[in-house]
Amino acid sequence: METALKPASQFKMPPIVLNKTFVRGKPRPDASLRIFCFNYAGSSAQLFFNWNDYVPEWIEISGFELPGHGGRLIDSKALERHADAALYIADALTSMLDKPYVLFGHCLGGMLAYEATRILKSRNARQPLHLLTSGARGPHYGLPLADCESMNDEEFIRHFIEVYGAPIGVLNDVRMRPLILPMVRADSRMTQFYRYESGPPVDYNITAVAGETDPDVQMHHLEGWRQHTTAKVTNRLYPGNHFFFMERAGEMLADLLQELDINEKVLTHA
């Protein structure tokens, strides 16, 4: 049950470490547009390390690394509440809003990106040009996940590999499990207990995509995003399962840029 999680009054937000929080293979300090990417539960921003290879030089793509993940695995514990994670993201992004930006998030990452923009909007901070969600239902549908809290470790690992095809086989390594499993468990709690709280819609365009054979995200779930913005919503399916985006990144980003219909000159004068 959610009441088993630490009350917010007892929670201390980890410090923001910029050089570890924004992960990118090829920094592009002169880029006119930034794209910030948010990974799925139990993974790391290293997923996006080479994504700059897919876009023009005037765009810089960074993966967002939450505490307790990837290169931050040992600098602090992973967050367990989506509200805490969204607040952390909003605070970290605040220093990066001097340029136009776009957000991408897969599954839990998509929901956290969206929730962070709601916080930024409440602060009258700059909003993204676009949100691209992948494998994520409209927020009111919640995030589909079995009752992972009731599973023992072996059941938990088997469930994610067999049901979702999740690339977390490293958890079968008894040497790595004590290091990584707490992070995966924390992300799963965040996913399982996510509940959308109603509020004003955002006002940026949203593209919601998924894999054609995703067992839990169908087209009507993607269309659910229309309730959450006053702007345009585009839905699209790609070949593949829940993790289709890992193989279709180049195609997906090319489609996004076509939708944005902007160029370096326009952004420079924005």
176-195 pLDDT per residue, tens: 777 888 888 899 899 989 99
What is the structure's pLDDT at 8? 44
Distance, CA of 166 to CA of 174 (rounded, Å): 18
Packing angle of the helix pair 108-122, 82-93 (nearest 10 deg): 60
Residue 5 is encoded by which pair of tokens?
């999680």
Distance, CA of 242 to CA of 7 (rounded, Å): 32
Residue with tokens 């992948």: 134
What is the structure's pLDDT at 2? 37
Residue 150's identity, in one-letter code, is S
* Other Cβ atoms closer than 10 A to 118: 18
Residue 217 is encoded by which pair of tokens?
């995200």
Radius of gyration of the chain (CA): 18
Q: pLDDT tens-digit profile of 32-73?
A: 999 999 999 888 999 999 999 999 999 999 999 999 999 898
Residue 205 is encoded by which pair of tokens?
């365009």
CATH 3.40.50.1820: does it fit domain 2-268? yes
Q: Using 70 as the pLDDT threshold, list the residues of the chain that sit under it.
A: 1-11, 17-18, 163-170, 263-270
Packing angle of the helix pair 153-164, 177-192 (nearest 10 deg): 70
What is the structure's pLDDT at 151? 85
Specify which residues 103 forms β-bridges with. 36, 131
